[in-house]
Amino acid sequence: VLLLTLSVVAIAHAELCKPDAQNAFKVRLSIKTALGDNAYAWDANEEYLFKAMVAFAMRRYSRKSTTQISNVLLCNVTDRVSFWFVVTDSSKNVTTVPGSEVEAAIRMNQNRINSAFLLSDKTLQFLKITSTLSPPVEPSTPVWLIVFGVVLCLIVAGIVFLIVTGIQQRKKKNKESTERENLEEKGEVTVTVENGIPCETLDLKAGHINGVFAADDERFTSL
């Protein structure tokens, strides 16, 4: 009776898990491509790990502890590492869990499954399940801190520019003032600006001749 029961269960499982069966999914692994010389062999232990990861995904998705490793069936395993799998209903064990639930559970936990086999979405493919995008990588430095740093650098650069410009203008004024003093000491005529109008400064040593009176002096003969 026990042998007959096991035979019936095996036949039922064979009917449930087969290529293109209802609620069945095909998986393809490219271990050699992903790991090169560090590639591992696909054996019964790896199959057990895969079943455990699928059971974990189902339990985490449905938040129930009813799915067991024995509920995950594998079939048509090839040497190039491809196979089909189904998840049976733990309450009946003769029907499969709807494919939509399995797909949702796999999509929710695909990164965890990939990590277990050291693979990625490109090297561990669930052919009828679209891969999910990896969560965005958050920068180690917050964005607001980067913006604050940029603004602070601009402010510091502006202050330095104003200081340097002020120093240069002060040096220029001091230089002009020194040159003016030197010219005054030598008694040279310089041009000053009064109310925006340039005026000649009298040479106190040599004097200055008024041209108006010089013209009148020529009309008179000397005694």
Q: What is the pLDDT of residues 140-197, one digit of tens each?
A: 677 788 888 889 999 999 999 999 988 888 888 888 777 777 766 665 545 555 555 5
The separation between CA 29 and the C-alpha centre of its own chain, rounded to angstroms, equals: 29
Q: What is the pTM of this model?
A: 0.55
pLDDT in tens, 95-128: 888 999 999 999 999 999 999 999 999 999 999 8
Among residues 219, 191, 212, the alpha carbon closest in space to that of 203 is found at: 191
pLDDT in tens, 1-57: 444 443 444 445 567 889 988 899 999 999 999 999 999 999 999 999 999 999 999
Q: What pLDDT shows up at residue 95?
A: 83
